[in-house]
């Protein structure tokens, strides 16, 4: 997918009213399914999943607050953020004083509409800008929420690309937010594009599993359904907030030194970035990293959750995310894949003194390259640290050279018979 195609996908998905269950999730997955083959699982309401229970399914058709003239002053059709997620059905007439406890605004951002939900406590409400609220009279107001909250199911989708090894790299993104472009649609678009690139690889060492599911309850449900196979997860990333203009931020796994932690921080090392230590707050990495599972799962965002003024507001629209930012996130992920795919351990077959590289044509093969000095240093580092105890990522970290340069050097040295892969 081109950067423009990723942005177009965000724009297409943006109007859909998503939540942790319901037809909005299924519509979203149907659009993703036009590009990726998805294995969709429906988990019925009431199913016990770890310490949680799959909730009732919520769907909504319309909602509004009409003033005495019949004008919709709050209108679900204008923006699905106007309704508190999971609002139960309601129909009645209210004064403004009666409505006020049900009306949510952002006084510090008076022109914006907030995003609010109430998944596990049955209630109802509306979100609107403070500017609109300040202009309302006493009413009375006709209020309608045309929704259903009933037994149904929770929907999870997976896209799997088999590799030579059963070990899995898992990319997880949430599909439960309504019209919020950066959180979560940019992550969905970048994940879809990454899956497309991986599918085009002639061979893959690892198996890649992409998870599209609602936040928190989705990850908990997936873990409950896959307890017997989570041991296959070698590397994992949650992907969100992938399209804003901020620099990339990586949140380490609970382990702190997992392979995915090292791979991402190495790739990010040559650009402005932030690395955060793990905390049990954020996106679904906290479910995968819960102590009973303790999976090697990090989190990749640009500006982190709650770190930008547009977060969880109507300002997080398609204009807030850029094709260039999503392309940059995708490029970093692709380089991380390169590290995960290329990570090997080699043994120097000529370890006594430095072998003569010139007579083997290794120095000559570098002539005319713009990175000749770097390539030469990479060969020397690979030879010196290929003692069976240091992997290519170890060498890249120690030498402060790009992993790609170290891997290329190792392949050249292996072809020349100076090193061999072990393990």
Is a pLDDT exceeding 80 seen at residue 369? Answer: no
| pLDDT for position 372 | 80
| pLDDT for position 362 | 84
Buried b (16+ CB within 10 A) or exposed e, 408-417: bbbbbbbebe
Query: d(Cα 323, Cα 334) in Å, to the nearest integer?
Result: 16
421 pLDDT band, cuts 50/70/90, is very high
State pLDDT tens for residues 6-41: 999 999 999 999 999 999 999 999 999 999 999 999
What does the pLDDT average to over 86-107? 97
170 within 8 A of 161, measured Cβ to Cβ = no
What does the pLDDT average to over 262-274? 96
Residue in 27, 60, 57 with CA at minimum distance from that of residue 43: 57
Cβ neighbors of 51 (< 8 A, separation 6 or more) are: none
Is a pLDDT exceeding 80 seen at residue 367? Answer: no
Is a pLDDT exceeding 90 seen at residue 371? Answer: no
Give the chain's domains with CATH numbers. Answer: 3-55+153-341 (3.40.630.10), 58-150 (3.50.30.90), 344-422 (1.10.10.10)
177 pLDDT band, cuts 50/70/90, is very high
Share of the chain above pLDDT 70, in %: 98
* Residue ranges at the known binding site: 177, 183, 312
406: left (phi over 0), alpha (psi -120 to 50) or beta: alpha
* Residue ranges at the known binding site for Zn(2+): 177, 183, 312
Q: How far is CA 69 from CA 93, 146, 321, in A?
A: 13, 21, 38
| pLDDT for position 314 | 98
What does the pLDDT average to over 326-343? 98
386 pLDDT band, cuts 50/70/90, is very high
- How many CA atoms does the CB half-sphere of 346 hold within 13 Å? 31
pTM of the entire predicted model: 0.95
What does the pLDDT average to over 398-408? 96
Cβ neighbors of 362 (< 8 A, separation 6 or more) are: 379, 412, 413, 416
Query: d(Cα 360, Cα 76) in Å, to the nearest integer?
Result: 71
140 within 8 A of 65, measured Cβ to Cβ = no
In the chain, DSSP finds a helix count (H) and a strand count (E) of 12, 19
| pLDDT for position 321 | 98
69 pLDDT band, cuts 50/70/90, is very high
Secondary structure, 3-state, 208-263: EEEEEECCCHHHHHHHHHCCCCHHHEEEEEEECCCCCCCCEEEECCCCCCCHHHHH
79 pLDDT band, cuts 50/70/90, is very high
Three-class DSSP category at 59: strand
State pLDDT tens for residues 39-51: 999 999 999 999 9
Is a pLDDT exceeding 70 seen at residue 366? Answer: no
């Amino acid at each position: 997918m081109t950067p423009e195609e990723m942005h177009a996908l965000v724009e297409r998905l943006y109007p859909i009213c998503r939540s942790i269950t319901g037809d909005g999730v299924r519509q979203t997955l149907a659009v993703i399914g036009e590009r990726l083959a998805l294995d969709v699982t429906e988990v019925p309401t009431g199913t016990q999943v770890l310490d949680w229970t799959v909730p009732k399914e919520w769907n909504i058709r319309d909602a509004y607050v009409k003033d005495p003239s019949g004008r919709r002053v709050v209108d679900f059709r204008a923006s699905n953020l106007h309704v508190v997620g999971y609002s139960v059905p309601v129909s009645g007439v209210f004064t403004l004083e009666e409505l006020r406890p049900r009306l949510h605004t952002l006084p510090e951002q008076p022109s914006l509409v907030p995003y609010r939900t109430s998944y596990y406590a049955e209630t109802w409400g509306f979100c609107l800008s403070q500017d609109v609220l300040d202009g309302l009279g006493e009413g009375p107001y006709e209020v309608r929420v045309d929704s259903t909250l009933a037994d149904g199911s929770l929907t999870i989708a997976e896209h799997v690309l088999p590799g030579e090894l059963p070990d899995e790299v898992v990319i997880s993104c949430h599909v439960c937010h309504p019209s919020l472009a950066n959180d979560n649609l940019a992550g969905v678009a970048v994940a879809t594009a990454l899956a497309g690139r991986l599918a085009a690889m002639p061979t893959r060492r690892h198996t890649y599993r992409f998870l599209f599911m609602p936040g928190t309850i989705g990850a908990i449900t997936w873990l409950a359904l896959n307890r017997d196979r989570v041991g296959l997860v070698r590397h994992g990333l949650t992907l969100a907030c992938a399209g804003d203009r901020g620099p990339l931020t990586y949140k380490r796994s609970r382990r702190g030194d997992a392979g995915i932690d090292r791979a991402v921080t190495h790739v990010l090392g040559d650009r402005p970035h932030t690395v955060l230590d793990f905390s049990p707050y954020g996106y679904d990495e906290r479910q995968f990293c819960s102590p009973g599972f303790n999976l090697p799962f990090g989190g990749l965002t640009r500006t982190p959750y709650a770190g930008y003024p547009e977060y969880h507001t109507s300002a997080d629209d398609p204009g807030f995310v850029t094709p260039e930012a999503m392309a940059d996130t995708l490029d970093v992920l692709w380089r991380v894949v390169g590290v995960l795919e290329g990570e090997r351990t080699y043994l120097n077959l000529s370890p006594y003194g430095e072998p003569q590289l010139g007579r083997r044509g290794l120095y000559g093969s570098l002539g005319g390259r713009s990175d000749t000095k770097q390539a030469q240093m990479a060969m020397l580092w690979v030879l010196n640290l290929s003692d069976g105890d240091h992997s290519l990522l170890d060498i890249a970290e120690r030498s402060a050279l790009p992993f790609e340069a170290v891997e290329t050097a190792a392949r050249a040295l292996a072809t020349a018979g100076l090193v061999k892969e072990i393990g």
